[in-house]
Amino acid sequence: MTSRITILDTISDPGNPAKPNDDSFGHNDACAFVIDGATGLGDRQYMDEGGSDAAWIAQHFARGFQDRITRDSSVSEIARSLSLAARTEFLAHNESVPRYAWPLTAFAMLHHTRDGFHFVGLGDSCLFLLQEDGSAAMHMAIPGAYEYEQNQARKHIARTGGITKEGGALGNSETLALLRQHRERQNTPASGVWTLGLVPEAADHLVSERLDIRRKAHAIVCSDGFSDLAVLYATYDSTSLVRTALAKGLRPMLDELRRFERAIDPEGLRYPRYKQSDDTTALLVELTPSA
């Protein structure tokens, strides 16, 4: 039996139905991935396609990965090429855009290569892996990213009184200034935080981890919107998250997530975050190793 990946279920849902979904995803016989466009911090939208600059850059990488990644590909080389193309297109029309307004994304990918399966990523998207023996693990490029963001969001909520107060995170001048300062430093050696976007050098910093798959396994590849079920709301651990998706599908889990965001804690007082509801994307994947 030859090794393969099989897509069992997918879901992608905007956090706000009135706004574009800044997440994208894709898959082929060599990969399954999620790309999470970061909320724009500029004063306006610069690229017409996609509905937002974040959606534009996420769709750009999604098309490129789906079309170009094979079992023999270097994800780093493809990411570099796509970053350079995006940079050329964006800056050709917007030379003087401040760096904090440059669009960027996080991503998580399951890459099926000739020698097995690998997690590849940048930013805070992640992969939950459940082995046939019941062992489970979470893979992401930036350990501690969720804790950092929750701590910063907690400070914002303490200043404003809740997620929707004062026009949200982008409406509060102090929060917006801090977010822009953090974004400005991304994709520089000084910050050590690398994401997919307009900086080709980020491709040198992809995190790649070999997944030791001995028997059939299952994984969820997802944006941080979906991983909140485990890392923020603590409804699941890595094992139960994947098992529940296998048993019930991803849609009921999305509904559960939205209840936490919109009914149980709409202002983030119990579960600190910047947005009431985040764009949420997940792929449920079966991994079959060679016999």
Give mean pLDDT, residues 185-192: 93
d(CA 76, CA 197): 13
Q: Would 254 be classed as within a structural domain? A: yes
Q: Give the containing element (helix H, strand E) for 183.
A: helix 173-185
Which residues, at least 6 apart from 258, have a Cβ–Cβ distance to it below 8 Å?
Answer: 277
pLDDT of residue 246: 98
Q: Would 149 be classed as within a structural domain? A: no
Give mean pLDDT, residues 215-240: 97
pLDDT of residue 67: 98
Q: Would 270 be classed as within a structural domain? A: no
Q: Over 90: is that where the pLDDT of 17 sits? A: yes
19-51 b/e (C-beta count within 10 Å ≥ 16 → b)? ebbbbbbbbbebbbbbbbbbbbbbeebbbeebb
27 — pLDDT class (breaks 50, 70, 90): very high
Which residues, at least 6 apart from 48, have a Cβ–Cβ distance to it below 8 Å?
Answer: none
Q: Over 80: is that where the pLDDT of 259 sits? A: yes
Q: Would 35 be classed as within a structural domain? A: yes
pLDDT of residue 155: 95
Q: Would 215 be classed as within a structural domain? A: yes
| Closest by CA position to 283, among listed 24, 21, 14, 33 | 33
pTM of the model: 0.96
DSSP string, 36-65: EEPPP-SSS----TTSSHHHHHHHHHHHHH
Query: How many domains in the chain?
Result: 1
In a 3-state reduction of DSSP, which class is residue 124?
coil
Q: Over 90: is that where the pLDDT of 214 sits? A: no
pLDDT of residue 80: 98
Over residues 133-154, the pLDDT tens digits come to 999 999 999 988 889 999 999 9
In a 3-state reduction of DSSP, which class is residue 221?
strand
Average of per-residue pLDDT values in the chain: 96
Q: Over 80: is that where the pLDDT of 1 sits? A: no
Q: Would 269 be classed as within a structural domain? A: no
Residue 78 near residue 37 (C-beta atoms within 8 A): no
Q: Over 90: is that where the pLDDT of 36 sits? A: yes
95 — pLDDT class (breaks 50, 70, 90): confident
d(CA 36, CA 27): 15
pLDDT of residue 16: 95
pLDDT of residue 23: 98
- Which CATH number characterizes residue 111's domain? 3.60.40.10
- Which residues span the domain enclosing 16? 4-144+194-264+280-288
Q: Would 224 be classed as within a structural domain? A: yes
DSSP tag of 245: H
94 — pLDDT class (breaks 50, 70, 90): confident
Q: Would 101 be classed as within a structural domain? A: yes
Q: Which residue has better confidence, 61 or 291? A: 61
Give mean pLDDT, residues 55-63: 98
50 — pLDDT class (breaks 50, 70, 90): confident
